Amino acid sequence: MSTEILIIDDNTDIRNIINDLIIDAGYKTRLAANYNQALNEIDKKLPDVAIIDVKLDKGDNDGLELLSHIKNKDKNIPVIIITGHANIEMAIKALKSGAFEFIEKPFDQERLMNFVNRAVENINLKNKNKEFEDKLFYSYEIIGNSPNIENIKNQINKISLSESRIFINGPTGSGKELIARKIHKQSKRQKGPFIILNAALLDIEKYELELFGEEKNNGAISYGALEKATRGILLIDELSEIPLETQSKILRVLIDQKFRRINGSHDIKVDVRIICCTSKNIKQEIELGNFREDLYHRLNVFEINIDPLNKRTSDIPVLIEYFSKKIATNYNLKKLNIDFSNDYLINYDWPGNIRELRNLIERIAILSPDTEDKISNIIKESLKTPDLHIPSVKNSLSVPLKEARENFEKEYLTTQLKIFNGNISKTANFIGMERSALHRKLKNLGIKELN
């Protein structure tokens, strides 16, 4: 597919000169002579690259408004700003707003084409990286032969072609996003976007902005996840973190099948399939008054439940074999010979679930040990729990399993925090948990975070 460049300039001669230059270079073009034409062209179809004159017919800096409009739709699209009224302040403003380059009129044609060629290389590289990342993620399969995993595979095959909303329950790192991506890949919406909104990572003031988007006073539009996912699938991760007020608005969207952007003046029809995930006990959250029961029933048309890895130990050898081959291929290594019967692997509690196991295999691949003993030492070092002395183990034998497990987790996490000097990000990365999940775990266990 040829690269397409949108040229926006109200001067006919300049617009035609740029058009001829770009066509001669082998690219496709689209043209816009004023602000409204440009807006229509952008909303009709995003270009690969845009060249925009700062001053059009709507105002002194309406070209910068179009720059913001494009960046709100896709921040990766390179935009070259041109102007005959340049000053340092304007150049800084354009670059801060995300402009790829800034060039003054009258411009050197060779210089402009150098900018265009670099912009095309830039977007092509980003597209290739995204394509590689998507293929890498989609290349992972749902692996396991436990009854739980076999049941999930059958569920995916049955529900993918429907339009039903899906609710996925499972602990952090268990593969909820992978399941959602597999459903997208097998669904009628597979050619549409797959958009992820992680509710655990948002500031409380930004939930509605991220969901519904915003119409700004200057006419620029910020698109929310519901619009970005049009004709595709929206995955709302850690749904239980969304505030009750926003939950009410989501419920209204599901009932009416339409919504308005913040400060918007007209309704936008919803054409999105929604999949939700949570690592919390959602029914308990409903009982506590943290989540709306009516919203839960609207979203939970079909439910998928993933067991933690420590409840399906039969999958561990299969997962080790799979990740060993996959990661060895990625790192261009020979097959990693990992002993599946290793007691450390089978008896370990895997608080980070499959993500923690995959991280361990990747750590082994990076360190490239050349003997089975060295591999075994890496496993022991990675999974050991320092300072868990024999008296602690003896004491744990006299308490219920739940309490013993909590004591174990407290000692383990406290030790890891000390090792990493209280750095939550490094601790979470090492143990294979998400940062937000570790924060919650520490709070639930009553562990104070180190300053």
CATH number of the domain at 62, please.
3.40.50.2300
What does the alpha-carbon distance between residue 391 and residue 410 come to, in Å, rounded to a whole number? 15
The encoded tokens of residue 328 equal 């060895």
Task: Give the model's pLDDT for residue 5.
Answer: 95
For residue 19, being part of any structural domain is answered with yes
Task: Say if residue 307 is exposed, middle or buried (CB neighbours under 10 Å; 0-12, 13-18, 19+).
Answer: buried
Same domain, 214 and 233: yes
Contact of 328 with 334, CB cutoff 8 Å? yes
Same domain, 238 and 321: no
**DSSP β-bridge partners for residue 332:** none
Cα distances (Å, whole numbers) of residue 2 to 137, 172, 282: 27, 42, 48
Same domain, 121 and 155: no
Same domain, 255 and 267: yes
Cα distances (Å, whole numbers) of residue 372 to 336, 342, 364, 379, 424: 9, 11, 11, 11, 32
Range of the domain at 342: 310-445
Cα distances (Å, whole numbers) of residue 436 to 279, 288, 409, 439: 11, 21, 17, 5
| CATH number of 180's domain | 3.40.50.300
Contacts of 71 (CB under 8 A, 6+ apart): 77, 79, 97, 98
3-state class of 258 per DSSP? strand
Q: How many domains does the chain have?
A: 3
Low-confidence ranges of the chain (pLDDT < 70): 1, 59-61, 85-88, 129-139, 218-220, 340-343, 384-399, 401, 418-421, 450-451
Instruction: Write out 189-246 in H/E/C secondary structure.
Output: CCCCCEEEEEHHHCCHHHHHHHHHCEECCCCCEECCHHHHCCCCEEEEECHHHCCHHH
Contacts of 56 (CB under 8 A, 6+ apart): 8, 9, 10, 34, 35, 38, 62, 63, 66
For residue 451, being part of any structural domain is answered with no
Same domain, 167 and 257: yes
For residue 137, being part of any structural domain is answered with no
Tell which of 284, 307, 330 closes a domain.
Answer: 307
Same domain, 153 and 290: yes
What does the alpha-carbon distance between residue 293 and residue 291 come to, in Å, rounded to a whole number? 6
Task: Give the model's pLDDT for residue 324.
Answer: 87
- Residue 402 is given by DSSP the state H
Residue keyed to tokens 């750095």: 423
What does the alpha-carbon distance between residue 358 and residue 320 come to, in Å, rounded to a whole number? 8
Tell which of 281, 307, 333 closes a domain.
Answer: 307
Task: Give the model's pLDDT for residue 412.
Answer: 78
Task: Give the model's pLDDT for residue 21.
Answer: 94
Backbone angles phi, psi at 193, to 5 degrees: -70, 155
Same domain, 297 and 158: yes
Other beta carbons less than 10 A from residue 250's beta carbon: 24
pTM listed for this prediction: 0.60
Q: In which element (H, E) is residue 151 found? A: helix 147-159
Based on DSSP, count helices (H) and strands (E) in the chain, helices before strands: 20, 14
Task: Give the model's pLDDT for residue 391.
Answer: 40
Tell which of 97, 132, 167 closes a domain.
Answer: 132
